[in-house]
Structure 1
Amino acid sequence: MATGGTTGDLHAAAPGTAGWTPIQVTVVAICAVINMLDGMDVLIISYIAPAMAKDWGVSFEVLGVIFSAGLVGMMLGSIVIAPLADGIGRRPVVLGALVVITAGAFGTGLAQTIPAFVGFRFLTGLGIGTLLASVAALASEYAPPGKRSIAIGWFQAGYPIGAVLTGLVSIWSIPQFGWQATLLGTAVVSAVVLPFAFMLLPESLDFLQNRQPAGALAKINALRLRLDLPQLDNLPPPRSRGAVPKLGHLFAGGLWKSTLILWLSIFLGYLVLYFVTSWIPRLASEAGLSAANSLWAGSVFNVGGIIGTTSIGWLATKRDIGWLIRGYMLVGAVLLVVFSQPMPLVAVLGVAVGMGLAVQGGFSGFYSLAAQIYPTEVRSSGIGWAIGIGRGGSVIGPLLGGFLLGQHLPLWIVFLCFAIPLALSGMLAALVRGRADLA
């Protein structure tokens, strides 16, 4: 039995431990840094796209395929590989995915043909898709009671921070060293993060208590000591052991309705998010901005994303996360249409900040929503499948954007085609009902 404490989920086990311990801060910070790699690896393609298109002579349609190659990998990684984290642990899956990302990034920077480039982008995406569900689960599971949405907000802020830093470096490095050298720089960053994750990232306490792998009691007590929780004398019966949870578990116990609504909502959100993030520098260029100013538009979009992801995490401690997502997405839909109108540079950058705040902020709320819906034993699977299904939208978004732009339609029509699904995504999110006790 436990000495002075319970043996369940961290959020239920420590009602009196509302403050942040050093290990909790470390875990959420490492998760945010890892998520920065996602922002860096995804956004670097949109930043190098104009230079790449000029050097290799690729069309809008081919750029759409290049954008989507990594996103297909992300989709498969989220659905096929990420659920392994519920069976073998969060930590080994995260570390393995980081190795894959690093290898893919080096390959992309060294590729000399479009097929090789697309193949290595797929490999990088496979690692990123595998990674995100596990680090999101870790960030939520290590948060103090009542702070899960804040922890996920901080974790999600890593994405736009990585994108902003990538944009600022790209503005300088692409003219100085070329777009391929800039890609190799992202590989070096991934390689640097890997040993720090190996040294600092612990296994999920919730996973150890629910799955109870070999040596679980000693590992649990070591973590509980660092979390200022009482030690356990022995383990309770495990909730689950052995095989990875099956897809049907995400529909059991009345979860089916929330799962389906969440999937559709995230699919539509990804559709719009990756259209904007992939194309915003090129769209700004099409609207008449210079190449340098177009990259600034992409960067300030992600500055808005930092504000949006952190603000929705804080607001989610006071308001229903589904309703917050709806509000953010509706504002984002309006700003998408506004962005398509001719404006001076200052106005374009201001609207880009607002779009980043609303679209990325609203989208980051999906991680909190998914973490609230699913219990510990299927949390990585639930988040992974939601992200994986959603990644179908991320694949379609850049392709659809490339097709519409290739038809030389007015920009306001192109943006309206994405504003409508963004608004619908927010409306659906408000219909999802999670487990409020885990917020």
Structure 2
Amino acid sequence: MAHHLPSGATDDIAGPGRWTPLRIAVIFICFVLNAIDGMDIVIMSYIAPELKSAWNLSPEALGTVFSASLAGMALGGLFIAPLADRFGRRPLIIALLSVITVTMLISSRATSVTELVILRALIGVSVGAFLASVTTMAADFAPPGRQAFVVAMAISGYAFGAVVTGLTVAHFLPVWGWNGALTMAGLVSLVTLPLVILILPESIDYLSRVQPKNALARLNAIRARLGEAPMAVLPPRVTAQKVSVGTIFAQGRTLPTLALWLAIIMGFMTFYFLVSWITQLSVQSGLAVENAIYAGALFNLGGFTGTLVLGTFALRFGLQGITFTAMVAGAVVVAAFGHLSVSLAVTLFLAYCAGFTTNGGFNCFYALAAELYPTEIRSTGIGWAMGIGRLGAVIGPLLGGVLIGQGLSIPNLMMIYAIPLVIAGLAALLVRARQPAPAE
């Protein structure tokens, strides 16, 4: 899944910085929390064939189940995540992880589509809400100058969790069934919860910027564990200025902003269609369930490596060109995935390539947005872009269920979902900040 470096992380508070046990522990916890996110969101695609068979679900109903957590992620990111600025990142992370744990365990005993949709929506709300706090935590405790590396490492936990979940479910699904798979996912969260409570301190950024009760003592306690000198006084409190949404369109950014929104909607539409349906479609293409789950796992592995490789290429060759190339290449791979009925090895390879191009290319949109918006409005610009873009994440799996239910063939279905990737690539070429006029 895709995230961005929070603007609140500060080097001066983090101090001289060494790889202390506390830094390593916090970053590891952030990696694990992102892995749990990947597990919780993607697990439904892995158990979909078993669930569809057990409940005799229509494609439309299955699409609704897929989209419930994605819609919840949008709501959680927009309305729950800001509570971290008021109550702190640590308590919000602990509360939301508790909700995820309980909800996942309850969902393993769901008896109807309605129950499962509601529970999946609650899981999505929780995951969407604490993503930003987890990412900020990783940046907070990174050694100065290593923020980007540490955040990327923490974010990679999402794909790692998705891949490991796929490999595990492929092996144990015949024994566990879909109920057991969801139970095990809930137990993983349950085991992680006490580790988070014991290890995770409050965010350095939150303590220094918001300055809640006993902030100086709490901040100095953390600095002591980092091997840094105590602070005599807190830094001046930063009063956040509310940024108007209209500012993201100012100074010639109207066309680039609209292009960014269109690109993210289109990219999300196809990406989350693939995330949700690739296992079920592989079964319909003739693969055994365990091999189809491996296809889903390789899709997520492709996203992990694609993010790293394409991010590196973008530094050398430019974001617009790399994003366009990745999206168009993804369209070709998606179309080929639908038209080629070949060996298992080729199918798995195409699944990997689909993840590499669609997920890896999509993550470039975060960097495009960061380039487009100046620092003072960057959070607002990226937040709105991703919030609007979630429309595509919800529509993609739902529309897929409707089209499959109407009897559309897999080759034609994949051709349809290749089109949004081309649109996303073309739109990416328009996401470019206007250069300010040179000073006289």
TM range (shorter): 0.7 to 0.9
How do residues 54-65 of structure 1 correspond to structure 2 at under 5 angstroms? Answer: 54-65=53-64
Q: How many residues align?
A: 422
**Aligned equivalents of 2:257, 2:216: Cα separation in 1:** 33
**Aligned equivalents of 2:288, 2:132: Cα separation in 1:** 38
How do residues 32-431 of structure 1 correspond to structure 2 at under 5 angstroms? Answer: 32-227=31-226, 230-240=229-239, 248=244, 251=247, 262-312=260-310, 324-342=322-340, 343-366=342-365, 379=379, 385-429=384-428, 431=431
What code does the residue aligned with 2:277 have? W
Instruction: Determine if contact 2:15/2:228 at 8 Å carries over to the other structure.
Output: no
Instruction: Determine if contact 1:149/1:313 at 8 Å carries over to the other structure.
Output: no
Percentage of matched positions with identical amino acids: 40
**Aligned equivalents of 1:52, 1:351: Cα separation in 2:** 25
**Aligned equivalents of 1:132, 1:32: Cα separation in 2:** 11
**Aligned equivalents of 1:318, 1:27: Cα separation in 2:** 32
Q: Which residue of 2 aligns with 1:10?
A: 10
**Aligned equivalents of 1:32, 1:118: Cα separation in 2:** 27
Out of 285-294 and 107-116, give the one that drifted further.
Answer: 285-294
Q: Which runs of 5+ in 2 are unaligned?
A: 1-7, 435-440
**Cα gap change, 1:325 to 1:179, in 2 (>3 Å):** same
Q: Secondary structure at the match of 2:235?
A: coil
**Cα gap change, 1:129 to 1:259, in 2 (>3 Å):** farther
What code does the residue aligned with 2:399 have? L
**Aligned equivalents of 2:374, 2:90: Cα separation in 1:** 19
**Cα gap change, 1:265 to 1:292, in 2 (>3 Å):** same
What TM-score does the superposition give when structure 1 sets the normalisation length? 0.84
Q: Secondary structure at the match of 2:111?
A: coil
Out of 59-68 and 159-168, give the one that drifted further.
Answer: 159-168
Instruction: Determine if contact 1:149/1:317 at 8 Å carries over to the other structure.
Output: no
**Aligned equivalents of 1:416, 1:60: Cα separation in 2:** 18
Out of 64-73 and 86-95, give the one that drifted further.
Answer: 86-95
Instruction: Determine if contact 1:153/1:364 at 8 Å carries over to the other structure.
Output: no
Q: Secondary structure at the match of 2:361?
A: helix
Instruction: Determine if contact 1:153/1:313 at 8 Å carries over to the other structure.
Output: no
CA displacement at 1:222 relative to structure 2: 3.1
Out of 256-265 and 33-42, give the one that drifted further.
Answer: 256-265
**Aligned equivalents of 1:49, 1:405: Cα separation in 2:** 14
What code does the residue aligned with 1:213 have? P
What code does the residue aligned with 1:267 have? I
Q: Which residue of 2 aligns with 1:5?
A: none
CA displacement at 1:313 relative to structure 2: 5.4
Q: Secondary structure at the match of 2:108?
A: helix
**Cα gap change, 1:321 to 1:106, in 2 (>3 Å):** farther
Q: Secondary structure at the match of 1:58?
A: coil
CA displacement at 1:228 relative to structure 2: 5.3
What code does the residue aligned with 1:117 have? L
What code does the residue aligned with 1:180 have? N
What TM-score does the superposition give when structure 2 sets the normalisation length? 0.84
What code does the residue aligned with 2:420 have? P
Out of 133-142 and 246-255, give the one that drifted further.
Answer: 246-255
**Cα gap change, 1:98 to 1:271, in 2 (>3 Å):** same
What CA deviation, in whole Å up to 9, does each residue of 1:178-206 have, x standing for no partner?
Answer: 11111111111111111112222232222
CA displacement at 1:263 relative to structure 2: 4.2
Instruction: Determine if contact 1:40/1:186 at 8 Å carries over to the other structure.
Output: yes
**Cα gap change, 1:363 to 1:96, in 2 (>3 Å):** farther
Instruction: Determine if contact 2:138/2:154 at 8 Å carries over to the other structure.
Output: yes
Q: Which residue of 2 aligns with 1:3?
A: none
CA displacement at 1:75 relative to structure 2: 1.4
**Aligned equivalents of 1:26, 1:424: Cα separation in 2:** 42
What CA deviation, in whole Å up to 9, does each residue of 1:345-367 have, x standing for no partner?
Answer: 11111111112222222334455
**Aligned equivalents of 1:371, 1:199: Cα separation in 2:** 34
CA displacement at 1:155 relative to structure 2: 2.2
**Aligned equivalents of 2:75, 2:168: Cα separation in 1:** 30
Q: Which runs of 5+ in 1 are unaligned?
A: 1-7, 435-439
CA displacement at 1:110 relative to structure 2: 0.9
Instruction: Determine if contact 2:370/2:378 at 8 Å carries over to the other structure.
Output: no
**Cα gap change, 1:315 to 1:16, in 2 (>3 Å):** farther
**Cα gap change, 1:316 to 1:118, in 2 (>3 Å):** same
CA displacement at 1:290 relative to structure 2: 2.3
What code does the residue aligned with 1:334 have? V
What code does the residue aligned with 1:338 have? A
Q: Secondary structure at the match of 1:110?
A: coil
**Cα gap change, 1:177 to 1:386, in 2 (>3 Å):** same
CA displacement at 1:62 relative to structure 2: 0.9
**Aligned equivalents of 1:423, 1:16: Cα separation in 2:** 46
Which consecutive segments of 4 or more residues in structure 1 shift more than 6 A?
A: 316-319
Out of 364-373 and 62-71, give the one that drifted further.
Answer: 364-373
Instruction: Determine if contact 2:324/2:425 at 8 Å carries over to the other structure.
Output: yes
**Aligned equivalents of 2:250, 2:15: Cα separation in 1:** 27
What CA deviation, in whole Å up to 9, does each residue of 1:91-129 have, x standing for no partner?
Answer: 222111111111210111011122112111111111111
Instruction: Determine if contact 1:9/1:206 at 8 Å carries over to the other structure.
Output: yes
